[in-house]
Amino acid sequence: MADTLDLRRALMQCGECKQRFGADATFCPFDGAKLESTVWDPAGDPLIGRVIDGRYEVMGVLGEGGMGTVYRVRHTALDRMFAMKALRRDLARDPDLCARFMREARATAIVKHPNIVAITDFGRLEGDVPYFVMEQLVGDTLARTIKNGGPIPAALGVKIVLQIAGALGAAHDAKIVHRDLKPDNVFLVGRPDNDGTSARSAAWSTPEVDVRVVDFGASMILGASRTTKTGIVFGTPHYMSPEQASGQPVDHRADIYALGIIMYEMFTGRVPFIADTYMGVLTQHMFVKPVPPSQVSEHARALGALEDVLLKTLEKKPEHRYASMQALAEDIQRVSSFAADGTLLVTKQGEAMSVASRPVFAMANQLEPPTREEVNASRTGTTVRRRRTRARAWVLYGAVALGVATVVLGLERWITSRATDGASPAPVAHAPSAAAAPPPPPMTLAATVTPPPVASVAPPPTPPTLPRPRTRSTSSAAPSAAPKKPAPPMGTDFADPWAK
C-alpha cells in the first residue's frame, strides 16, 4: 500500500494523445481510445527536492492522473506531511481551466465533512500552474481494494456506502456535484507506521473503516479542456450516468447513479456494463438493464432487500432514482441493521423493514443494534397494519360478491320476462277447426334457452289471404292430415295450443 493515490510505476497511456492515467483506467477521457500499459519513473520529476512558496518541501511523487500530479510534501514550519496536487502543465496554459481548477478547489474546501478530503491551502507554481494542498491520506483506494481482495463483505460495504452518501449529501447541499465518482476517488484510510510510511490496511476484511472522497469537480475541469475530442463526453465511462453519457444536463442524481455502480462492483467484484469500446459502455448505460447482482455473484445472494435499493439507484431516468443521498441512506438503514457482534442483519427481498431507522449521516461505525423496545414496537405496528389490510380485503370481497349477485339476478329476470312475452301465441282468425286450449303456463329458464320445435298448422281453405302465425312455418301436408304432436323438452309440461 502507498500514500494517498499510491505510487504507481505501472500506468496506462493513450496511444493517440500520449496522456498517462492510473493503472485502473481503461479508456482515454480525451479521445475515447483504449489505453495501453506503460512504465513510469517519477524519480525525474523536476519538483522533487524543491521548496514551494517557502513552506512546502516536495518529498516525492505519489501518483499521476488525468488532471495532474500528486506530490508528497512536508510543511517546513509545522513539520507535517501533506499531499499537494498540481494541475497538468498543458492544461495550465488555458486560463479558463486554471480558474475553474481553483474555483472547484475552493468550493470543496468550504464543505466540512469528515468523509471529504480536507483542503488546507492554495497557490501557484512557476509557469502560473495552480496547485492545492490537502491532508495526506494513508491507506488504499477502493478500486485497488476490490482488485486485490475481490468483492467487499456486505457489512463493510454498507458502512462504506453510508459514509460516501454522507459526504456527497453534504456536497450536494452546498450545490457541488462530484460528476466523476468512482472507486479510484474513494479512499479507505489505514494506519500509519511510526516512521510515517504507510502500512498495509486490513480495512477490507474488518467491519471498521474510515472513508474519504476526493477529486470533486475533476470532470468539469477536464471536460472543458480543448484537448477533448469533439463528441466525447468526459468522464469515466463505467460509472457514468445515462444522462451524462448522452450529453444531457447533469445534477446530483448522476452521483446517485455512480454510487449505485460502486455498490454493484463492491458486492460482485465487477461493474455491470463492460464493452471493448468507450461508446459501447455508454450505450449500455443508456439502453441496457443491469443484471441483478444476485445473478452475477454468490457473494451478492445474501444482500436481500439491499439489492432492491441498489437497483433503484441504477434507474435510467433520474426521476426514478432516489431524490437525494439522504433518501438513499434512509432506505439502506430501513432494510439493514447491525447486531451487537457487528453482524449485518438484512431484511428479506420484498419485505418491509423490521427495525426503526437510524440517524442518516451518523458515522457508520457507530451504528447500534435495535433495542428490544424498538423491535416490539415495530412488530406491534406490523400486526396492526396486517389486520387493517385484511379487514379492507374482506370489505372489498363482500362488495364484489354483492355486485355480481345483483347482476346475475337482474339478468335472469330479464331473460324470463323476454321468454314469457315471446311464448304468447298470436290469435288465428277464421280457424273454426282449432280447438280452444287453456293458456300455456309460464316458461321456465330451461325452456327459454332451447325452445322446442313446434309443428305448423295447415292454413284454412278460405280466405286464402289470411295471415299466418309469425312463429310457425306452413306445411305442405293436406288439411285433413293431423300433424304429429311434438314431444315436450325436458323441464316443460305445457300443452301446445296449436295441437289438434
- Residue numbers annotated as active site: 180
> How many residues in the chain?
500
Q: Return the C-alpha cell found at 155.
A: 457489512
CB within 8 A of 43, min separation 6: which ones? none
Contact status, residue 91 vs residue 97, Cβ threshold 8 Å? yes
Looking at residue 495, what DSSP letter applies? Answer: P
Residue by residue, DSSP assigns 286-347 as HHPPPPPGGGT-GGGGG-TTHHHHHHHHT-SSGGGS-SSHHHHHHHHHHHEEE-TTS-EEEP
Q: Which single residue is written with the C-alpha cell 303456463? A: 441
- C-alpha pair distances (Å), 466 with each of 119, 366, 458, 461: 113, 105, 12, 10
Question: Could you tell me how far CA 443 lies from the centroid of its own chain?
Answer: 64
C-alpha–C-alpha distance, residues 437 and 427, integer Å: 12
Q: Where are the alpha helices (DSSP H) in 111-175?
A: 142-149, 154-173
C-alpha–C-alpha distance, residues 481 and 500, integer Å: 10
